[in-house]
Amino acid sequence: MRPLNLNAITGLVVSAAIAVDTALAQAARPNEYIVEYATGAGHALRARDSLASKGDIRVRKSFEHAVFSGASIETETFDFDGLGALPEVARVWRNNVVTLDPMARQAEKVEAYKALDYAVHNSTGVAELHAAGVLGEGALVGIVDTGVWWKHPALGGCIGPECKVTGGHDFVGDIHWRPGLEKHPDEDPMDNAGHGTHVAGIVAGENEYWSGVAPRSKIRMYKVFSDAHGLDSDDATVIEGFLMAAEDGVDIITCSIGSFNGWPHNAWAVVADRLVDDGIFVSISAGNEGSAGPFFGSTGASGKNVLTVASIASDKRPVRAGGNVAAHFANDSGIPSFVDWAAGGKASGFTTWGAENDLTVKPDVGAPGGSIYSTYLDNSYSVQSGTSMACPYIAGVAALWVSQFGGRAAHGKGWARALGRRIISSGRPLPWYDGAHTYDNFTAPVEQVGTGLVDAWKVLHYDTQLEFDTMGLNDTRHFNRHHQVELTNNGQADIVYTFSHAPAAGFETYECTTAADDCRIKPWKKFKAVQLDAVVTRLPEPFALEPGESKVVEVRFDNPDKLGWNAAALPAYSGHIRIEGSNGEELSVPYFGLGADLQEVIGPIFRKGYPVAVAGADNATIVDNSSCSFDFNEEALGFPRITARLKWGSAQIRWDIFEEDWTEREWTWPLKVGENGYVGAVHGIDKSTGSADYPNVTVTFPVAWAHRNADGSELQRFHEYWWPEGKLGGGEKIKPGNYTMRFAALNPFGVPENGTQWSVFKTPKITVL
């Protein structure tokens, strides 16, 4: 459990109850970063040696690849800003913890069942491809996950160059591991958790009753989790898996893990994005935090050119003999059948919603992820639900394409993005489903399912290739009205193209309670679909393309700021630009926008009553106890502890210490210790990114790319930071005296140079004893 149990009370004084009696006795995960070298891959060794010579910098792992040259490091004396200022360093990120989605952990074993009962491939066009003999032969898929039970007969029963599982790597070992502990890597990516085996079966599994999407493809597994109890990994380990997969020659990488984030600038997203540019197709699961509502994206899935995959419930679900719905089938229950159900073919309620914190359009497309049958540990099978299941489905579709047309070796680097555009544009719209009712008059929004359910038949057979960026309209202040689409006719005959606009369901995403004046992004269960139609002021007129011919066209939107929408409720609107060919082809390009000035509506980024700052064993507020002894004995607890809740993701959270008389009027950027009253950044513990068995994560501020807080689990609800030792970013302990403490988060679209674009927590002067 997390040590925080906090309730805010409205009014001037906010009390907090923080359980800290045993937390500080637990080990702290070291202060870890990922750095990219400024010198590039050709000088990585020199840059690494130079970093290591700085003193308290320990290089844990070097990354030497054409797309990313850098290292994961530990340090207790360099902070985020200090590392970024080093001449060897181009960019810096925290090495964040990543997790398996909780729904994916709830696997239930089932018996094999008859092929005619399994209809998931019918809804995606995969069954038609299988019937035509397209089975994925020749494609090589890299999977980054918990490993694979390669002994499974449906996965070939062996590991090696001639097997379905050709190899891979175990980065962490088979004994229990979590970030911060010693790894025990080896060459056998045997699965001890089950998640990766289920994913592998969705891609390439096959028996006499059932098959995955690309059953004749081969896979390589890169294991980044240890066992069923080791459900945490970190960015550096996942990046290591991605880069090794790329070096091993895979054309496709799929990964069904992540953590709350929603920023395309995090380290894993940056590396994954670059791999796509380098010619590797990448699919990553959107996440299973749908209950939190929109604007709650995941880590790697936030990469711009990564295919971010939403979950759509399987058309049919398993039932026992006699028709009783169940997820688990005992030995005496017989072979299950599959029957229609109300949620079938609809967006899964758990699928994480976009868009990103910078209003980038995500997710991209949906695939079957609810009630999916696949391989499991000990040669068994299970039914699981999650975007973890939808993501490898898309990788399987990519493998089918590669088996017919080739990958990077055949087409060069640009093929991966081009295939991504084919898959996105193939999506079929779904009706809006709120978990209880289907609304056929509304289409499920782009921020939930992208373009809709993938159509693999279109992906492999359509003559038309589209090149586009998903149409991010942004908010009304930063409105982006002009968008381009390039069409290419790869067929043998002329095609005439026509364009139309198909709005999706709109939603008012923001609410404020009357009693407490507390504003938040609404959870999914509070959503009511409303008509919010974008005004498209320019659609291309019909035109023809000859075989081999291309044309770039423009689509233009009008700013919705004059449409009378309720801007205070952050109206989210989306839809598709439909493109129809005279040959019967139907494709779509998604768009998304926010009908309000985001910065103006959000105002101060903190939720009502937050941040809360307490000190002392009695959890007195800083107002009542501003003296800091930094005695962290449980009878004293003489150090500040701050808990914050964000209405929106922040590009940066800072906790800085200034001289006693410093005021906001003296704000300068960048901050430099010893100048303009700046004493240093806090070096403490981040309680909001750890795990149940490893809750203490060392942090030196700032915290970059922070997610917004939701009202679900405690990890969703709070950003919690402690300053137990009184250390500053350089590792030194603060001297006795009086100081000004500034805790602040950068507002949406804010620039750090402008002090007014920070939400600042007002605290009294503190006295260090």
Catalytic site residue 388?
yes
DSSP single-letter state for residue 332: G
Instruction: Say which amino acid occupies 595.
Output: G
Residue 34, token pair as written in the block = 């990922």
Contacts of 558 by beta carbon, 8 Å cutoff, 6+ apart? 481, 534, 535, 536, 537
Which residue from 164, 121, 159 is spatially nearest to 140, judged by alpha carbons?
Answer: 164
Distances 207 to 154, 377, 594, 598 between C-alpha atoms, Å: 5, 15, 47, 52
Catalytic site residue 256?
no
Which residue from 398, 392, 403, 394 is spatially nearest to 136, judged by alpha carbons?
Answer: 403
3-class DSSP state for residue 94? Answer: strand
CA distance 425 to 365: 9
Residue 209 phi, psi dihedral angles, 5° rounding: -105, -20
The pairing of beta strand 337-340 with beta strand 365-370: unpaired
CA distance 574 to 480: 14
Catalytic site residue 631?
no
Which listed residue (152, 169, 195, 683) is catalytic? 195
CA distance 267 to 302: 10
Which listed residue (145, 251, 358, 656) is catalytic? 145
Which listed residue (69, 259, 314, 388) is catalytic? 388
724-728-733 Cα angle (round to 5) = 70
CA distance 110 to 286: 26
CA distance 212 to 121: 9
Residue 505, token pair as written in the block = 């369901």
Which residue from 381, 387, 396, 341 is spatially nearest to 368, judged by alpha carbons?
Answer: 387
Alpha-helical runs (H) found in 350-414: 387-405, 408-411
Q: Is-contact 217 141, C-beta < 8 A?
A: yes
Q: Residue 604, preceding bond cis, omega within 30 degrees? A: no
Q: What residues are labeled active site?
A: 145, 195, 388
